[in-house]
Structure 1
Amino acid sequence: MQIDRRTLVKAGSAALTVGMSGNWSHAAASESGQYAAALSTELAAIDNISVSGPYRAEWPSLQTHPMPDWFRDAKFGIFIHWGVYSVPAFANEWYSRNMYVPESEAFKHHVATYGPQSKFGYKDFIPKFKAEKFNAAGWVDLFARAGARYIVPVAEHCDGFAMYASRLTPWNVANMGPKRDTLGELETQIRARGLKFGLSSHRAEHTWWYNEGTRYDSDVRDPRYRGIYGPAQPMTLPADRERIKGEPNSDHLERWLPPTKGFLDDWLGRSGELMTRYKPDLMYFDWWINQTAFEPYLRRFASAFYNQAAALKTGTVISYKMEAFAPNAGLLTIERGKLDTLRLGAWQTETSVSIKSWGYAENDVYRTATSLLCDLVDIVSKNGNLLLNVGPKADGTIPAEASSVLIEMGEWLKTNGEAIYGSRPWVLYGEGETTTGAAEKKEVANQAFSSSDIRFTTKGETLYAIGLAYAGGNRMLIKTLYAGTPYLKGRIAAVELLGTSKPTVWRQTPNGLSVELPERVALPYVLRIRTA
């Protein structure tokens, strides 16, 4: 059944002028009939699309949605954390929350630098977020030069400030700060380059994000600003807070209050307007959606998202963390962590070129290109993709440290990309002594690999063996490829080192494939192996 394309864009269109009104107070935004009508229109559009296509809002139906080939072929994408939090640029992108948490370093820094939170709150950074040097074409040129095949800007972080022209809140980048739809500009440039366009929503965490600011005199308590700070819901009921005080794991997620129906409806409405307005190829949701209350809303959104794609004849991806989705109903994403084995289904690691923060922060530490390329190889060998984050400055410029790393990665991919793009995992992901762990936030930044660590990818009849470190001299031994190995369909006929025209000397022995490299090229180094 085809969807009327007018349905995809009509949601909230009548309310666009309301959403863009600079005089729209919080009372008008969140409590007036205008907001209610706009939200109702968005939700109606979602539910209409949800039942107007091949996918139903049920996990068994959603699990039939195939992972598109473009994603499996892309392997490498760019994540962008950019927002108001890049103005203070202190510690990390959680500044908007931590500045209201007494005894935190961000709280102390804020008071010392800007004054008390009752006089200068997070909202007061918005006019300083001008993005005066932002150039969408320049960004996309850099990311394309890095070798990325898809780009995922954060549409709304947990701070509640929409980085797009939202119909449901005046607290957005087109109405305040830069007063430009920066996300729309990025979309235009990304699609013009033939790259895939994704969006990230961290809205789910907003339900409790500013709760600490309600416990003392701060601007979070001012009803005029509930449009950005609300609902600032307590994490636990006061009685529960007293009862569990001092217990181990007293901040465990299950003890936190579930979001209200009003918040969940707003979450779905905002997700829906991103879907219908920008039609992203990939939709990324951050971790808080794994709360039970979100489950029916996730199914409603996913069925609409997949049905819209079916109508537009595009392949789409929904990225989730932990166990928020049923297996194979979306894309499993692991934050700053990897898998220690090959996974049959596609998956994704998200990490950042900066070590301390996802958004721009002064005095951050940056990864090396070699370490990120080794991670990319390790991930791809296990059937995954790497989504690498960059945090631009408030003025819209990319930090020089990040740019240089991306350019170096792109140069490596020009030479060795045939072993990455469009590849598929081999029967074994690799061999070696280094373990990478298999958990969220367990990555080792700039992890050192040994000369025994080799990863495999394949494309057609070609096998690629990728070394993650050099041994003494230029010799290597690939134990898996010993004479008579059952993993190869035929005998080895040729071995070539990518990046050089010099011949590679090799010999297949009972102990493995012995290779003498003609020279040292940039790590990781790639051997192209052909069989006869």
Structure 2
Amino acid sequence: MRIKILICCCLNIIGVSGFAQQNDIMPQSAHYEAPSDQLVNEKLDNWQDKKFGMIIHWGLYAVPGIIESWSICSEDWIERDTTVSYEDYKKGYWDISKQFNPTKFNPDQWAKAGKSAGMKYLVFTTKHHDGFAMFDTQQSDFSIAKGPFANNPKADVAKYVFDAFRKEGFMIGAYFSKPDWHSQYYWWQKYATPDRNNNYDIRKYPWRWNKFKDFTFNQIKELMQNYGSVDILWLDGGWVRPLETVNAEVLSWGANIPKWSQDIDMPRIAQMARKAQPGLIMVDRTVHGEYENYQTPEQKVPEKQLAYPWESCMTLGGAWGFVSNDKYKPASEVIHKLVEIVAKGGSLLLGVGPKPDGTLPEEVITKLADIGKWTSANAKAIYSTRTTENYNSGSTWFTQPKNGEKLFAINCLDAKEGLPTAISWKGNVPKKGTDIILISTGQKVKWRNVNGEITLQLPAKMLPSPALAFEFVPQG
């Protein structure tokens, strides 16, 4: 899905008309190749225990409160103020770097809000497609550490973000955009920039592309060597890929694929990165093969249970980054998505965007705390669980602990209908005589089995809840 946005620009200050929303939803590859590195598999297993993560988009786009990076891409789904030339618009966008001064930058607030929600891992945008680095890179002056924020003690933003989330026990992921639209080695000013791809024929200018490969390698090397323990390298921009990986499936996505290979030498990057970070999970999004260690369907949940590692990345509001007056999802909707995703074998990576001053919107903090009330009370049905063959019956979803000795049944309730007096499901029959326990309170509930349909009589006095989770021993 691509949603048109209208961008306006005057006096080098960029505004937005309408509402900035997600776009360019990444397709999900149909192919998965399991890693051969035992350390990677061990870390993947650990990651699969976490189930719930936070992805943070924060960059130049937060200042005007518009869609992240994409407004400077010349594709037909993006509309701009017709009185401003494209080149002037790009210059105006990049000049935001002279204004971006987040003096209230508070990564501890972000990490505590994530922990309150029950989140267990982080993916932070160290650089989006616009090329603006949110870390102190030595490869470019286009970074948060080189502008008005340069003299702030926390100018090396990524360092303090990672430190804050490590302190709260999170696994650490570094989002990194493979394309870099600010780099002369990717978008060369000699030519127009007609779309998201590099804008010159790599076959004619191999030296220039080799410069870009070195630039990319060196920036990732900085992240892998200078920022402490990193668990996930989350690589976005799946159109930057070896030409041989462009198969019929990729072409069916409708992407504009150049005739040359935008190969950045992932084996070299992986060797360097895993030397610095043994067992590193690499997520080369949509580029099927040994460097896509888990898949990342965007803004959607797969229709069926999947047998390999994956996560759904979704926004809490309508946009990945900060926009004014965003409309945030109810906590119940996020909880229902989390339950479905976990039952299907995945994890939920929920997107939030800090304000340009470096703090999270108060409504985001409140929403995350509301989500956390449920995850903390029902943790055993979500975290460190694995799938079960019969994973769904109507509004009830099933998970099991890794040892497989019990089953968890999670019934998602319709908030409009209030709490029912009883719930039912088919299949997953409890063992005769076993107790069924309401996890949030520890209460035993009465149940009966009529021809394979299980009905639970709920306690008379219960607090409202978006979902009820139960544990029981299944029939052998």
DSSP 3-state at the match of 2:358: coil
Asked if the contact 2:341–2:348 (Cα under 8 Å) also holds between the matched residues in 1, the reply is yes
Inter-partner Cα distance in structure 2 for 1:300 and 1:425: 35
Q: Which moved more, 1:261-270 or 1:341-350?
A: 261-270
Inter-partner Cα distance in structure 1 for 2:198 and 2:107: 41
Inter-partner Cα distance in structure 2 for 1:340 and 1:67: 27
- Candidates 36, 54, 59, aligned match of 1:83: 59
Q: Which runs of 5+ in 2 are unaligned?
A: 1-32, 203-207, 244-260
Residue 239 (structure 2) pairs with residue 288 (structure 1): yes
State the partner residue of 1:271. 220
Q: Aligned in 2, Cα 1:502/1:418: closer, same or farther, shift over 3 Å?
A: closer
Residue 431 (structure 2) pairs with residue 456 (structure 1): no
Asked if the contact 2:135–2:158 (Cα under 8 Å) also holds between the matched residues in 1, the reply is yes
Q: Aligned in 2, Cα 1:170/1:271: closer, same or farther, shift over 3 Å?
A: same
Q: Aligned in 2, Cα 1:291/1:143: closer, same or farther, shift over 3 Å?
A: same
State the partner residue of 1:441. none
How far is 1:105 from its partner?
4.2
How far is 1:395 from its partner?
0.6
Asked if the contact 2:109–2:360 (Cα under 8 Å) also holds between the matched residues in 1, the reply is no
Aligned-residue identity in percent? 26
Normalised to the residue count of structure 2, the TM-score between the two structures is 0.76
Inter-partner Cα distance in structure 1 for 2:321 and 2:381: 31
Q: Normalized per residue, which structure has more helix? A: 1
Asked if the contact 1:171–1:227 (Cα under 8 Å) also holds between the matched residues in 2, the reply is no
Residue type matched to 2:269 in 1?
Answer: F
Residue type matched to 2:239 in 1?
Answer: W
State the partner residue of 2:22. none
Asked if the contact 2:422–2:457 (Cα under 8 Å) also holds between the matched residues in 1, the reply is yes
Inter-partner Cα distance in structure 2 for 1:60 and 1:77: 22
Q: Normalized per residue, which structure has more strand? A: 2
Residue 277 (structure 2) pairs with residue 309 (structure 1): yes
DSSP 3-state at the match of 1:319: strand
Larger Rg: 1 or 2? 1
Asked if the contact 2:413–2:467 (Cα under 8 Å) also holds between the matched residues in 1, the reply is yes
Q: Aligned in 2, Cα 1:380/1:103: closer, same or farther, shift over 3 Å?
A: closer
DSSP 3-state at the match of 2:357: coil
State the partner residue of 1:18. none
How far is 1:184 from its partner?
0.7
State the partner residue of 1:164. 135
Inter-partner Cα distance in structure 2 for 1:528 and 1:506: 12
Asked if the contact 1:67–1:317 (Cα under 8 Å) also holds between the matched residues in 2, the reply is no
DSSP 3-state at the match of 1:89: coil
State the partner residue of 1:205. 179
Q: Aligned in 2, Cα 1:256/1:418: closer, same or farther, shift over 3 Å?
A: farther
State the partner residue of 1:420. 382
After the TM superposition, which residues 47-126 of structure 1 pair with which residues of structure 2 at under 5 Å, given as runs? Answer: 62=36, 65-68=40-43, 69-90=45-66, 92-94=67-69, 96-97=71-72, 104-107=78-81, 111=84, 117=88, 121-126=92-97
- Aligned length, in residue pairs: 406
Q: Aligned in 2, Cα 1:106/1:417: closer, same or farther, shift over 3 Å?
A: farther
- Candidates 407, 410, 418, aligned match of 2:372: 410
Q: Aligned in 2, Cα 1:107/1:177: closer, same or farther, shift over 3 Å?
A: farther
Q: Aligned in 2, Cα 1:290/1:525: closer, same or farther, shift over 3 Å?
A: farther
Q: Which runs of 5+ in 1 are unaligned?
A: 1-58, 211-224, 237-250, 432-451, 483-487
- RMSD of the alignment, in Å? 3.3
How far is 1:398 from its partner?
0.7
Inter-partner Cα distance in structure 1 for 2:137 and 2:198: 31
Inter-partner Cα distance in structure 1 for 2:101 and 2:376: 35
Asked if the contact 1:342–1:428 (Cα under 8 Å) also holds between the matched residues in 2, the reply is no
State the partner residue of 1:396. 358
Q: Aligned in 2, Cα 1:520/1:333: closer, same or farther, shift over 3 Å?
A: same
Residue type matched to 1:199 in 2?
Answer: A
How far is 1:255 from its partner?
11
How far is 1:75 from its partner?
0.7
State the partner residue of 1:528. 471
After the TM superposition, which residues 80-479 of structure 1 pair with which residues of structure 2 at under 5 Å, given as runs? Answer: 80-90=56-66, 92-94=67-69, 96-97=71-72, 104-107=78-81, 111=84, 117=88, 121-179=92-150, 180-202=155-177, 204-206=178-180, 209=181, 230=188, 260-278=209-227, 279-286=229-236, 287-292=238-243, 293=261, 297-310=265-278, 315-322=279-286, 324-326=287-289, 330-355=293-318, 357-431=319-393, 452-459=394-401, 460=403, 461-470=405-414, 473-479=420-426
DSSP 3-state at the match of 1:205: coil
Asked if the contact 1:132–1:396 (Cα under 8 Å) also holds between the matched residues in 2, the reply is yes
Residue type matched to 1:205 in 2?
Answer: P
Asked if the contact 1:290–1:321 (Cα under 8 Å) also holds between the matched residues in 2, the reply is no
Q: Aligned in 2, Cα 1:306/1:389: closer, same or farther, shift over 3 Å?
A: same
How far is 1:455 from its partner?
0.9
Inter-partner Cα distance in structure 1 for 2:358 and 2:186: 22
How far is 1:175 from its partner?
1.4
How far is 1:385 from its partner?
0.9
Inter-partner Cα distance in structure 2 for 1:118 and 1:422: 48
How far is 1:491 from its partner?
3.6
Q: Aligned in 2, Cα 1:71/1:84: closer, same or farther, shift over 3 Å?
A: same
Inter-partner Cα distance in structure 2 for 1:284 and 1:414: 27
Q: Which moved more, 1:264-273 or 1:154-163?
A: 264-273
Inter-partner Cα distance in structure 1 for 2:379 and 2:191: 47
Q: Aligned in 2, Cα 1:62/1:521: closer, same or farther, shift over 3 Å?
A: same
Normalised to the residue count of structure 1, the TM-score between the two structures is 0.69
Inter-partner Cα distance in structure 1 for 2:102 and 2:297: 30
Deviations 1:98-142 (A, max 9, x none): 5x779954445x959xx9927961232112211111112222111
Q: Aligned in 2, Cα 1:517/1:282: closer, same or farther, shift over 3 Å?
A: same
DSSP 3-state at the match of 1:406: helix
Inter-partner Cα distance in structure 2 for 1:189 and 1:462: 36
Inter-partner Cα distance in structure 1 for 2:437 and 2:35: 46
How far is 1:227 from its partner?
8.9
Residue type matched to 2:446 in 1?
Answer: V
How far is 1:492 from its partner?
5.7
After the TM superposition, which residues 489-500 of structure 1 pair with which residues of structure 2 at under 5 Å, given as runs? Answer: 490-491=431-432, 493-500=434-441
